[in-house]
Structure 1
Amino acid sequence: MLIANPNASRNTYPDDLKAILNIQTAAESRTWLANWNTLNRAGTPLFSLPDLAAHLGVAELMIKDESSRSQLGSFKALGAPIALVRLILRLFPEHPFEPRGLLMGDYGDALKDFTVISATDGNHGRALAAAAQSVGCRCVIVLHANVSIEREQAIAAYGAQIVRVPGNYDESVEEAAALAVEHNWQVVSDTSYEGYEDIPRDVMQGYGTIAAEIVEQASDQAFTHVFLQGGVGGLAAGLASYFWELYGTARPAMIVVEPQQADCLFQSALAGHASKTQGSVDSVMAGLACGETSPLAWKFLHTSIDHFMTIEDEDAVNAMRMLAQGSDRDVPLVAGESAVAGLAGLIQLLKSPHLAAEVGIDESSRILLISTEGATAPAVYSELVGETAQSVLKRQHLWLQRK
């Protein structure tokens, strides 16, 4: 399903939004992250997929591959550490903590009794656990019933205490908030709620690193369309705000894609305010299986996103297989279930000339996709794609050597 956003704006980036998310603070966050040894210092590649572009009938298709951001395997590695560092700086102004030293563990003795907690579908919790381990503080992660054991083990490997609750992601968010109050722990969540916006803002600001790298890698080439994953809206807001501030009235058209059964942003667009999904929230796209829009993210999406759309799980699986296959001119890519939402949405739009025309996509369009994660659940990836991530990466290595 596709809807146009009647509130989308082509004016310059508003000052009230710039006061919350801006390029200057994103650059500061990027500088801090450069000192975290968990991340790939070279950033992540921006690949062109000329064969797929030709197949789909567009001028260019480029994809930012966040699977190689770090051993954590997803873009979430950019948000949680920045939120944790900024939280500590706010809470302990009397200490001479430096961001670089925090991520290098220089103040572990002073922070060993400090505890952070968060709910997660997997990737955010893993990134927070890794950041807490580097800083030297304690971390508790709340997982709901649909989070796989494989993802739980990946989080626990970074020393986090795991708490399991029944229900879905929204129930785990409520439990994390309750435990934080009971034990005087600090919630480091990537979704906002009433009275809780500073940390989600910092998480979203960390995602500006992705946009900054894309601008540098694409040089002076302008994209006409950017497809962004849904979820609670944090990634979309972080990138959309950056592109809007940078390009102003000439910003690209931006489309948000999410699962049919976890369509909280789609429903928010219909309602005109941050809203909840009407679906089951049970999707193979685990990182996007969120039932309630982040109100803070919606402040940005409400006017920066031109279209909202939903896809079926099978669309995502087909897109995973397509990227894994590669071709003579297209690098094989390991893209997880949530990573392919943008490509899956683009393919569905191009199946209908009417929908493609509504979004303004034609043979001259230059499309940007964000592959947000690799095989963060390797067994799930193998089952869905019919090939292991290691096998795809081997073919990728051979392709890159050849090119």
Structure 2
Amino acid sequence: MLIANPKCTRRAYPDDLRAIMSVTQATESRTLLSSWSRFERAVTPLWQLPDLARDLGVGQVLLKDEAVRSALGSFKVLGAPVALVRLILRRFPDMVLEPRALLAGNFAESLAEFTVISATDGNHGRALAAAAQSVGCRCVIVLHAHVNTEREQAIAAYGARIIRIDGNYDDSVHEAARLAATNGWTVVSDTSYEGYTEIPRDVMQGYAIIAAEALEALAPQQAGCPFSHVFLQGGVGGLAAGIASYLWERYDAARPTMIVVEPTQADCLYQSALTGKATRASGSVDSVMAGLACGETSPLAWQFLEGCIDHFMTVEDAEAVAAMRVLAKGSERDLPLVAGESAVAGLAGLRQLMGTPQAAELGLDRQSRVLLISTEGATAPALYAELVGEPASAVLARQEQWLQVQ
């Protein structure tokens, strides 16, 4: 389903939002992370998929591949580390800390008793655990009933203490907040709630790095935006807010058309657009798109989304699985790609729209230049193999063959 956002406007980026998140702060976050040893690639590739564009009936499909930035396999590696470092710098002003040395573990002995905690569907918790291990502080991760054991083991591999609870993601968020208050720990979450906005802001600001890299890859000196349309994953809204705010500030009223896509049963952003305020999802929340299976909109993220997201839409789990298979298969001119369940929401939304009257409503046609963000790889390898019908290793082998003949 697709709806137009009644609060969306074409105007300059507001000063009150710039005071919270800005291009300048995104650049600072990028510099902060530049020395982290866990990055295998300083910049992730922006792939052009001409056969997919032709089949869908658009001019260009561009896909930013966040699966390959680090061994963690997801875009979350840009958020949690930024937030953790900024938190420690604020919390211990007398220690005269330097971010590069902090991420290198030079202050591990001094931070050994400092503990951070977060709820997660998998990728954020893994990124936070990895950052905490690098820094040398303690990390506790709260997992809800629907997080599979593969993702639990991936988080534990970075030294985090795991606490399991019943319920869904939102229940785990509340439990993490309770445990933090009881034990004197600090929550490092990618979602905001009343009285808790500073750390989620830092997480979202890290995600803006994706937009900065995508623009640099295509038009470092170009005045206009090289994308006409951008499809963004939903979840609590953090990724979408980080990227959308960056594009909004860069291009003001000339920003691209932006569409947020989320699972039908985890439609908190879609419902927020309907009600005009940050609210809850209308469905069961459980989705194969685990990273997007969130029931409550982040109020901080909504401050940015309500003014610049043109449309909100929902997709079924089956559409996401079909999109995973399309990317994995590749074609003569399209590189085969490993994209996890939550990575393909944007493509699933684009495929759902093309060929319908709604595509014309959004201005999607043969001249459109569409940006998609592949936010994760096979972060749950067994599940990926089950959904796609082959393991990620087979897709990567086909990818290597494709690259050799280009």
What amino acid sits opposite 1:390 in the alignment? S
Q: 1:342 aligns with which of 346, 354, 359?
A: 346
In structure 2, distance between residues paired with 1:210 and 1:325: 25
- Which residue number in structure 1 is paired with residue 296 of structure 2? 292
What secondary structure sits across from 1:117 in the alignment? strand
Compute the displacement of 1:40 (Å).
2.4
- Which residue number in structure 2 is paired with residue 282 of structure 1? 286
Q: Does residue 230 of the first structure (1) align with residue 237 of the second (2)?
A: no
Where structure 1 has 5 or more consecutive residues not aligned to the other structure, the ranges are none
Q: 1:397 aligns with which of 371, 375, 400?
A: 400
Q: Does residue 249 of the first structure (1) align with residue 253 of the second (2)?
A: yes
Are the aligned partners of 1:115 and 1:140 in contact in 2 as well (CA < 8 Å)? yes
What amino acid sits opposite 1:333 in the alignment? L
**Normalising to structure 2: TM-score of the pair?**
0.98
In structure 1, distance between residues paired with 2:254 and 2:282: 34
What secondary structure sits across from 2:180 in the alignment? helix
Are the aligned partners of 2:34 and 2:42 in contact in 1 as well (CA < 8 Å)? no
Compute the displacement of 1:351 (Å).
3.4
Are the aligned partners of 2:61 and 2:370 in contact in 1 as well (CA < 8 Å)? yes
- Which residue number in structure 1 is paired with residue 355 of structure 2? 351
- Which residue number in structure 1 is paired with residue 337 of structure 2? 333
Q: Does residue 363 of the first structure (1) align with residue 391 of the second (2)?
A: no
Are the aligned partners of 1:119 and 1:142 in contact in 2 as well (CA < 8 Å)? yes
What secondary structure sits across from 1:112 in the alignment? coil
Are the aligned partners of 2:41 and 2:68 in contact in 1 as well (CA < 8 Å)? no
In structure 2, distance between residues paired with 1:278 and 1:234: 19
Compute the displacement of 1:358 (Å).
1.2
- Which residue number in structure 2 is paired with residue 131 of structure 1? 131
What amino acid sits opposite 1:318 in the alignment? A
- Which residue number in structure 2 is paired with residue 163 of structure 1? 163
Are the aligned partners of 1:34 and 1:41 in contact in 2 as well (CA < 8 Å)? no
In structure 1, distance between residues paired with 2:350 and 2:172: 32
What secondary structure sits across from 1:222 in the alignment? coil
**Normalising to structure 1: TM-score of the pair?**
0.99
Compute the displacement of 1:42 (Å).
3.0
What amino acid sits opposite 1:161 in the alignment? R
What secondary structure sits across from 2:172 in the alignment? helix
In structure 1, distance between residues paired with 2:101 and 2:280: 40
Instruction: Please report the RMSD computed on the Cα atoms of aligned residues, expressed in angstroms.
Output: 0.7
What amino acid sits opposite 2:237 in the alignment? G
- Which residue number in structure 2 is paired with residue 386 of structure 1? 389
Q: How does 1:6-45 map to 2 (within 5 A)?
A: 6-45=6-45
In structure 2, distance between residues paired with 1:199 and 1:397: 39
In structure 2, distance between residues paired with 1:148 and 1:111: 31
Q: How does 1:294-333 map to 2 (within 5 A)?
A: 294-333=298-337
In structure 1, distance between residues paired with 2:126 and 2:29: 19
Are the aligned partners of 2:2 and 2:313 in contact in 1 as well (CA < 8 Å)? yes
Compute the displacement of 1:41 (Å).
3.7
- Which residue number in structure 2 is paired with residue 202 of structure 1? 202
Q: How many residues align?
A: 402
What secondary structure sits across from 2:297 in the alignment? coil
Compute the displacement of 1:39 (Å).
1.1
Extract structure 1 runs of 4+ deviating beyond 6 A. none
What amino acid sits opposite 2:375 in the alignment? T
What amino acid sits opposite 1:312 in the alignment? E
In structure 2, distance between residues paired with 1:401 and 1:254: 35
Compute the displacement of 1:23 (Å).
0.6
